[in-house]
Amino acid sequence: MRNTWRLVYNYFLTFIGGFISKKRNARFAMGVLFVLGIATLMIVLFTNTAIATTVQFTQLGVPELAMYSNSFMAILIMLFLTVMRSALPAKTTDEQLLLSLPIKKTQIILAKSLFNYLFDFLSLLGILFPSYIVYAVINQTGISLVFRGLLITLLLPLFSNAIATLIALLFQKIATFFRNYSIVQTILILLLIGGYVLISYVLNDYLLKNNNVDMVLNQFKPMKWILTFVLNGTLLSLLWIALIAFGTYSISILLRVAVFGKEVKSYRSKKIELDFTERKPMWSLYRKEIKYYFSVPIYVINTIFGAIMYVGLSILLLMIKQETLTQILASIRIDASGAEIAFILAAGCLIITTVCTTSSSISLEGKHLWVLKAHPIKVRDIFLAKILVNMTLTTIPIVLMAPVVSIKFGFANLWMFMLIPFLASLVMAILGLYFNLLFPKLEWESEVQPVKQGLSTMVTLFFGFAFVILPFVFYFAFFVTLVNYVLFGLLLVAYFVLWIVFSYTLLHKSGKTHFERL
C-alpha cells in the first residue's frame, strides 16, 4: 500500500508541477488564482441555491423535500461523472516505465484510480456537500448530519469511477471489431451521452409529475438510501451504498489490472497502397486535426457536450409556450418587450461557448510538437486549422437550430439567433488557443490530463463564462426597459466583434511568439 500512496503523491506532484515554472511563475500564479477565484464563486452560487431551496421548503413545513432535491441532484451528478470518466484511454505513456518498476500492477492501477477519484471528490465537495451544511444549519439538526453528508460525498465518486471503467472497457472491446477503432469508441460514448441526457430528462419529468415522495423513493432505491441515511442515519442504507460502491470499485480495479500493459488489438487493414492528394497546408492540417479530434474519446466528451445541450435547448424552446417564458422572466421582475429574446441569446451563448477544443489543442501535440514546427507551414495556418475544428463543432448546431428557434420567436430575429452565438464561439476558439499557448501542458501520460486537468482549459472555461455573461447582466440589470432588444442585439454584435479583433491580434502577435518558444 505504501507504493500506491507514493504513486498517488507522485501524480499529485506532477500535476502541481505542471503549474509551476521558474520562467513563468507570475503568469501561472495569476492563472491559478483566477481558477481558484472562479471555483470559489461557483461554490458560493451552489451554496446560495441550496440556501434558497432549503428556506423555501422549510417555510412550507416540509424541509425534508430540500434533502430529497439534493439526493436527486447527487444521482444526476454521479451519472454525469460516470459519463465523463467513461472515455478511459486504452494506453498511457507511462505504462512501460511503471511495468519496469518493482511495483505490483494492482498498486499502479489503484494509484491511477485514486488520483482520478480525488478530482471527482473535490467536484462533489464544492457542488453537493454545501447543501448538507446549509440543511443542518437552517434546520438545526446537529453536526452529525454534516458528517453523514460528507460520507455520502466520499462514497459516490467510487461508484461513478467504477461504472465508468466498466463502460470504457466494454466499449474498447466492442470497438476493436471495427476498422476505425478510436472513432467507433467515440461514437459509442456519444450514444452514452445521449442516453444520459434522456435519462436525466425522464427522471426530472417523473419527479415533477409525482408529488408523492414515498412512492418516488420506493421506485428509486438509491435516492431512498441516500435520503434515509443522511436524514436519519439508517445504517442499512449506508451498508447498501457502501457495498455497491466498494463492490463495483473492486471489480473495476481487477479488470483494469487484467488488461494493463497488454496491447489493444484492433482491426488491421490489408491495404498496402498509399492514397495521396495534394492539398493546401491549412486544409491538410484541418483534416488531420478533425480526424485526431474524433479519435480521442475524452477530447470529444469534454468539448461536444455543449453542442448537444445547444440542440436540446433549441428543441425545448420550440416545445414550450412563449407565455411560459414570459412568466418566468416576470417572476424575476423582467417584463420588457423582447426580453425573452435576450434571455434566449444569453442561454445559447453560455452553452455554445462551453465547446472549446482549442484550449487543449496545443497541449495535445505533446512531445510531437516539434514535428509540426519542423514543417514549412505558416504559424497562422496552424492556428487557423485548430480554430476551424472548434468552429465546425459550434457552427453546425447554430446554423441548424437558428431557424428552429425562429419558428417560435420570429424569423425577423433569425440573424440574432445565428450571428451572435457564432461570434461568441469564435471569440472562445481564439482565446482558448491563446490561453493554451500561455499555459501549455506538453508532458502528460494520457489525454485526460491536458483536456480535463490543464490550466488552460480551466482558465478558458471560466473566462468564457465571465465575458459572455457580462453584457447580459448589465442589460437585464440596468437597460432592459431603456434599450430595445434589437438595438441590444446590434450592441452584442459590436461587443463580440471587438473581442474577436482584440483576441486575434493578441494571438497573432503574442501567441505566435509563445508558439515559437515552445
pLDDT one-digit tens code per residue, 310-323: 888 888 887 777 66
Distance CA 97, CA 92 (A): 10
Whether pLDDT at 505 is above 90: yes
Kindly report the backbone phi and psi dihedral angles of residue 333, in degrees, each rounded to the nearest multiple of 5, phi listed first.
Answer: 65, 40
Report pLDDT for 22. 46
Distance CA 447, CA 430 (A): 21
- Which range scores top for mean pLDDT: 50-59, 93-102, 128-137, 237-246? 237-246
Report pLDDT for 108. 84
Distance CA 408, CA 344 (A): 12
Percent of residues, the chain, with pLDDT higher than 90: 15
Report helix, strand or coil for 447.
coil
Grid cell 412563449 is found at 322
Report pLDDT for 491. 92
Is residue 501 very low, low, confident or very high in pLDDT (cuts 50, 70, 90)? Answer: very high
Percent of residues, the chain, with pLDDT higher than 70: 82
Residues 6+ apart with CB under 8 A from 42: 126, 127
More confident position, 221 or 89: 221
Mean pLDDT of the chain: 80
Report in angstroms the alpha-carbon separations of 489 from 8, 250, 485.
Answer: 50, 54, 6
More confident position, 359 or 215: 359
Where residue 21 falls (left for φ over 0; alpha for ψ -120 to 50; beta otherwise) is: beta
Distance CA 326, CA 346 (A): 15
Report pLDDT for 172. 78
- Which range scores top for mean pLDDT: 158-167, 226-235, 270-279, 502-511? 502-511
- Which range scores top for mean pLDDT: 9-18, 46-55, 254-263, 393-402? 393-402
Whether pLDDT at 85 is above 50: yes
Q: Which three cell numbers stand for residue 145?
A: 448530519
More confident position, 290 or 281: 290
Report in angstroms the alpha-carbon separations of 332 from 42, 326, 343, 346.
Answer: 21, 10, 12, 15
Tell how far CA 24 is from the center of its chain. 27
Q: Which three cell numbers stand for residue 426?
A: 469564435
Whether pLDDT at 203 is above 80: no
Report in angstroms the alpha-carbon separations of 450 from 1, 94, 365.
Answer: 28, 15, 10
* CB-based burial label for 420 (10 Å; 0-12, 13-18, 19+): buried
Whether pLDDT at 453 is above 70: yes
The residue-averaged pLDDT of 140-163 equals: 88
> How crowded is residue 265: how many other Cβ atoms within 10 Å of its Cβ?
10
Report in angstroms the alpha-carbon separations of 254 from 113, 157, 247, 380, 476.
Answer: 12, 18, 11, 47, 54
Query: Tell me, what DSSP letter sits at residue 376?
Result: S
Report pLDDT for 92. 62
The residue-averaged pLDDT of 203-211 equals: 64
Contact yes or no for 90/264 (Cβ under 8 A): yes
The residue-averaged pLDDT of 186-205 equals: 74
Report pLDDT for 269. 60
> How crowded is residue 128: how many other Cβ atoms within 10 Å of its Cβ?
22
Whether pLDDT at 211 is above 70: no
The residue-averaged pLDDT of 22-35 equals: 60
- Which range scores top for mean pLDDT: 11-25, 108-122, 233-247? 233-247
Whether pLDDT at 89 is above 70: no
Residues 6+ apart with CB under 8 A from 507: 383, 430, 433, 434, 437
More confident position, 18 or 153: 153
Helices (H), 475-509: 485-506
Contact yes or no for 34/459 (Cβ under 8 A): yes
Give the model confidence (pLDDT) of 387-410 as tens digits.
Answer: 999 999 999 999 988 898 888 888
More confident position, 319 or 345: 345
More confident position, 468 or 87: 468
Report pLDDT for 334. 65
Give the model confidence (pLDDT) of 40-67 as tens digits.
Answer: 877 887 788 788 878 877 777 777 777 7
DSSP string of 264-321, one letter each residue: ---------PPP-----HHHHHHHHHHHHHHH-HHHHHHHHHHHHHHHHHHHHHHHS-
pTM for the whole structure: 0.72
The b/e string for 159-195 (b: 16+ C-beta within 10 A; e otherwise) is bbbbbbbbbbbebbeebeeeeebbbbbbbbbbebbee
Is residue 418 very low, low, confident or very high in pLDDT (cuts 50, 70, 90)? Answer: very high
Report pLDDT for 87. 63
- The one-letter code for the residue type at 375 is H
The residue-averaged pLDDT of 106-119 equals: 84
Distance CA 299, CA 190 (A): 11
- The one-letter code for the residue type at 18 is G
Whether pLDDT at 276 is above 90: no
Report pLDDT for 499. 93
The residue-averaged pLDDT of 196-213 equals: 67
Ranking 88-102, 128-142, 248-262, 386-400 by mean pLDDT, the lowest is: 88-102
Give the model confidence (pLDDT) of 421-452 as tens digits.
Answer: 999 999 999 999 999 998 888 877 777 778 87
Kindly report the backbone phi and psi dihedral angles of residue 229, in degrees, each rounded to the nearest multiple of 5, phi listed first.
Answer: -70, -45
The residue-averaged pLDDT of 125-130 equals: 84
Q: Is the dihedral of CA 455, 382, 84, 265 positive or negative?
A: negative
Where residue 441 falls (left for φ over 0; alpha for ψ -120 to 50; beta otherwise) is: beta
Report pLDDT for 372. 79
The residue-averaged pLDDT of 8-33 equals: 64
Report pLDDT for 97. 73
